Amino acid sequence: MDNLASKEFEPLKLENQLCFTIYAASRLMTRHYQPYLDELGITYPQYLVFLVLWEKDGVGVNEIGCKLYLNTNTLTPLLKRMEQLSFIKRIKCCEDERKVLIFLTDKGKDLKLKAKNIPEEMAKTLNCNLGKAMCLKNELDQLIHKMLK
């Protein structure tokens, strides 16, 4: 890290941008998942919605949004596509007619089995040690926490 010691650290150089590294890592990660998700017939953001629903379904749109930091203007069309693919059902809540509850269909539930090995595959292909990955995740979580304030 000569850049740190050197007096000519250039803040506007691309290679010094943490933000760009995160941005690039995110897009490359999505690409890296794609072949595996293609097999399941889903996209990466849809995969994230599944991760939420596999833990607990019958939740409102906004509850999914809170967990993924996504607004309804992104989620509504995304969820409609997932419904079109019959992975989920969108059902109006009886107690509160404003709410739309999201339920997994059998097809959606079954997908969990097919997805089971994806994290392992990722770790393998990225030659990624679990401890190190969780450490990196922790650093990023701290950054996220600062940005949410």
Partner DNA sequence: TTCATTTATATCGCTTGCGATGCAAATTAA
Partner DNA sequence: TTAATTTGCATCGCAAGCGATATAAATGAA
Enumerate binding residues for DNA (CB under 7 A): 23, 27, 30-31, 34, 43-46, 60-63, 69-81, 90, 95-101
The DSSP output letter for 140 is H
Does position 131 interact with a second copy (CB under 8 A)? The reply is: yes
Among 6, 7, 8, 18, binds a second copy (CB under 8 A): 18
Which one of a second copy, DNA, none is in contact with 105 (Cβ closer than 5 to 8 A by kind)? none
Q: Which of these segments, 34-42, 81-89, 92-100, 140-148, binds a second copy (CB under 8 A)?
A: 140-148
114 binds a second copy (CB under 8 A): no
| CB 50 within 8 Å of CB 108 | yes
Please tell me whether residue 55 binds a second copy under the rule CB under 8 A.
yes
CA distance 140 to 41: 29
Q: Which span sits near a second copy by CB under 8 A: 35-43, 84-92, 100-108, 124-132? A: 124-132
110 binding a second copy? (CB under 8 A): no
Distance, in Å, from the CA atom of 97 to the CA atom of 72, rounded to the nearest integer, reads: 16
Burial class of residue 14 in the structure, from the number of CB atoms within 10 Å of its CB (0-12 exposed, 13-18 middle, 19+ buried): exposed
Site for a second copy, residues 28 to 47, rule: CB under 8 A? 28-33, 44
**Distance of alpha carbon 109 from alpha carbon 56, whole angstroms:** 11
CA 1 to each of CA 21, 22, 44: distance values in angstroms, whole numbers, following the listed order: 16, 18, 34
Where residue 2 falls (left for φ over 0; alpha for ψ -120 to 50; beta otherwise) is alpha
**Residue type at 77?**
P
Q: Name the residues that contact a second copy, by CB under 8 A.
A: 1, 3-4, 9, 11-14, 16-33, 44, 48, 51-52, 54-55, 67-69, 112, 115-116, 118-120, 122, 126-128, 130-131, 133-134, 136-141, 143-144, 146-148
